[in-house]
Chains A and B, each alone.
Chain A
Amino acid sequence: MSYFRKKIYACAPYYTVALGTGRKEFHPKKLRPGIEHYIKEAGLGSISQIQNPENIDEGVIGNFIAARFCKQGNLGGFFPYVHPTFQYKPCTRVEGACDSGGLALTTSIKTILADLADVVLCIGVEVQNSVKAIYGADFLAAADWFSGNRKKGHVYFFPDLFSQRAGACFEKHGHDKIRAGMAQWYVNAVENARKNPESQEYHNKNSDLFGTGMMKPNPKAFCEHINVFDCSKVSDGGAAIIFASEEGLKKIGVDKKDAIEVISFAQVQDNLTTPPPDLTKLSTCEIAAKRAQERAGIKPSELGVLEVHDCFTIAGLMAVEAAGLVRYGEGADFVKEGNTKLDGIIPTNTTGGLVGYGHPTGATGVRQACDIVKQLSGKSGDCQVEIKSDKPFGMMSSMGGNDKTVVAMIFQK
């Protein structure tokens, strides 16, 4: 029996360039587009792919922390700015740190399942280059328990949390193996990003990516176990996708063959005030993936394409383990052997992921869904992978905080 009480489809995926360091057009001192630009570009990019925008019922937007980066709240109010169809319709902003985009996906779908809407435009957005990274680090620290943990935390709060996880993995599974896996993750991320014109690392010309990925961390300037290349990018960007019921697809004039079915999701929350039970595991991500797969009635081996939340290279390795593809401790070798490359057993983060495409935090979950839908529709351009008939499923997993808020969602070709 299907997990949902009625069929849910995703269509019209669109995302913007991830702007930030690495892009040729980016200069920290040059004036850049504001958050409303990304909301509008992403929203219109999606709407332009359907016939009857007037039949969109609702808007949901995921955003982490525009109130600090851009001094902007009330983001739902930008839907009528994107398109007049939203004037006087329900529009909602949702937040779950870096999983804000993931929550926007589930909120959109839930509204349709509740029979309150047939078509929902789901947007994710974040603009982070408005301040230097040293100040942005504090804004992003709100993804953890601020009053309980920030004071004792590191200058670069989140990088340090995952540096500690890397350290724990080094200790448990061996430094060299994990380090090489992390470097390979970086290589794959940039190689895939070079095929995607929207990626922040699209212009990366480094001829020795593995060497760069293996650079020794400098704890005096950054973190103990990871270097800056192990981190996702500081990005400005937006993404949008439309969810619809069968009836909804008809209303917006989208043929079912141009849409991809969503067959399950799991939304999992852990207590923000408790430390992770095991630094070497993404336990919440694991629960989310398992639940989503059970609800879809599929095994991990049936996944044809995967999008995981590699906010750091070490998180990428652990997320592949949490997705159920390999056992704990085996992620590094699995990645090193090339199994997650575009032609591997399970192509992962095919357009670069958070390390390669970039990580406009509130947009990321939506961008991941866009990439899964594009892959399953054969519209991923140079990043396209072969979706075999015995593996017609794609899964995205998006994480907020230190493995606290997770959405895993499965799509079927």
Chain B
Amino acid sequence: MNLDERLQNVTVIGAAGKMGSGIAVLVSQEMSKLKLKSENKDKIFRLNLVDITEKVLDGLRSYMKMQLVKAAEKSTVLLRQIYEDRKDLIENGEIINAFVDDTYALLNFTTDYNIAKDSHLIFEAIFENEEIKIKVLKNLKEICSNDALFLTNTSSIPISYLDEQAGLGGRIVGYHFYNPPVIQKLVEIIYADNTTEELKETGLEFGKRLRKKLVPAADISGFIGNGHFSRDGLYAMNKVEELKDEYGYHGALYIMNKVSQDFLVRPMGIFQLIDYVGLDVFQSLLRVMRTHLKLEHLNSDLLNKFMDKTIAGGQNPDGSQKDGFIKYEKNRPAGVYNIEEGKYYMFDEEWAAEIDKKLNPTNEKFAPWRALLMDAKKMEKLETHFGNLKGMNTYGSNIALDFLKTTKEIGENLVKDGVADSEKEVNDVLMNGFFWLYGPINNFI
């Protein structure tokens, strides 16, 4: 069965989630483009979007509409060609609406995953909990035909383990999209020990159609992306424990977040990133890795304390950022939490100005990530920037250089441990999946 045939009936499990909904948008567009080919006019195409409650499916309906319009607006050059023969569709707006309607018509929204019985391609994108994932995969195995292929969006659970536990006989591949899947170019692809050749090819071909950058990672818990992110985040959390006596928890969090964003020129600070991902997701990631890798140190008391207080970050249903380590006002960081005192300290208070002065006494101006993003000379400029950091010998520059060094070591260890084939894969993942301007394995340090 080729990919075109498989794409006639597809199911996304966990479709209303952050990752599932994005995957649903991407898959639906590909299916729609296929359906609109003249040779497929009489064939039935169905994309089954399954999640646990009608309420979340309602949210998914609105999200799909909005995202399909956005996607159609971006690909109108192609859509005008696709609808060339439709004499009634003249304006861009008419063509965009037609594509959205045609795509929407392929969708089944349901809470009943028995609907997957006719699907030959199944995306599993439920919450990162291995017991539930295994249970769902086991059930799907019973429901679906023997040739159904499973693509799991796990970000940390070894694929061979899932395969074995669910008894899929190699019909599963790790297909790790990055958040949000509609925008992020990166997909980590992870094969189980006995992933079938057909599935490997299907995965590669589908990635190509989606115009994603596929980076292979070994089947070791955390893979490349979270293998790096988890350790990077843990380093920052451990550093907070070190600095808290002098600056309080809020000051220490502020320092590490600011240094990682401004001094290391990242798109956001490390704690803002963990808030974005969700503290719950990060905690679960550590738990999975700790279990499978048998590495007890992959744990953080600080994180666990936040979770005990149910401060978990993540997003509200409207997409706005929830408070986590950091407090957000109009989606922008505005304060930071002190776990001992149980309150947020705001950035516009005196304490923050004092820390700023300590970190960067000469008030050096660093080019922000956004300014360098489209700059053709960004690598030269970064080299100068990190060169300057080395010469500064300030409190902030020293913390930054230690962080840069640790980040590099984490990357190198991923290669050493066989998670990544080479440095290139590590750098590719961080640059494409985390929008870093430079890879962690670099010559800046």
Contact = CB atoms under 8 A, between A and B. Distances in A.
B73 A220 contact: no
B80 interface: yes
A327 B92 CA distance: 38
B27 to A, nearest CB: 22
A155 interface: yes
Contacts of A137: 92
B318 to A, nearest CB: 14
B92 A135 contact: yes
A151 interface: yes
A154 B90 CA distance: 11
Interface in B61-95: 73, 76-77, 80, 87, 90-93
A151 B86 CA distance: 9
B239 to A, nearest CB: 37
Contacts, number: 27
Nearest to B78: A220
A155 B93 CA distance: 10
Contact of B93 (A135, A151, A154, A219): A135
A132 interface: yes
- Residue from A132, A141, A150, A151 having most chain B Cβ neighbours under 10 A: A151
A141 B93 CA distance: 13
Contacts of B96: 134
Contacts of B76: 134, 155
Contacts of A220: 77
Nearest to B91: A138
Nearest to A152: B84
A368 B157 CA distance: 66
Interface residues of A, number: 13
Contacts of B92: 134-135, 137-138, 155
A150 B90 contact: yes
B87 A151 contact: yes
Nearest to B86: A151
A189 B402 CA distance: 48
Interface in A136-154: 137-138, 141, 150-151, 154
Contacts of B87: 151
A138 B77 contact: no
Interface string B84-128: 000100111100100000000000000000000000000000000
Contacts of A219: 77
B390 to A, nearest CB: 27
A1 interface: no
A221 interface: yes
A137 B92 CA distance: 8
- Residue from A141, A155, A219 having most chain B Cβ neighbours under 10 A: A155
Interface string B256-293: 00000000000000000000000000000000000000
Nearest to B73: A134
A138 B93 contact: yes
A39 B80 CA distance: 36
27 contacts: A132-B73, A134-B73, A134-B76, A134-B92, A134-B93, A134-B96, A135-B91, A135-B92, A135-B93, A137-B92, A138-B91, A138-B92, A138-B93, A141-B91, A150-B90, A150-B91, A151-B87, A151-B90, A154-B77, A154-B80, A155-B76, A155-B77, A155-B80, A155-B92, A219-B77, A220-B77, A221-B77
Interface of A: 132, 134-135, 137-138, 141, 150-151, 154-155, 219-221
Given A137-B92, A155-B76, A155-B80, 9 more contacts: A134-B76, A134-B92, A138-B91, A138-B93, A150-B90, A151-B87, A151-B90, A155-B77, A155-B92
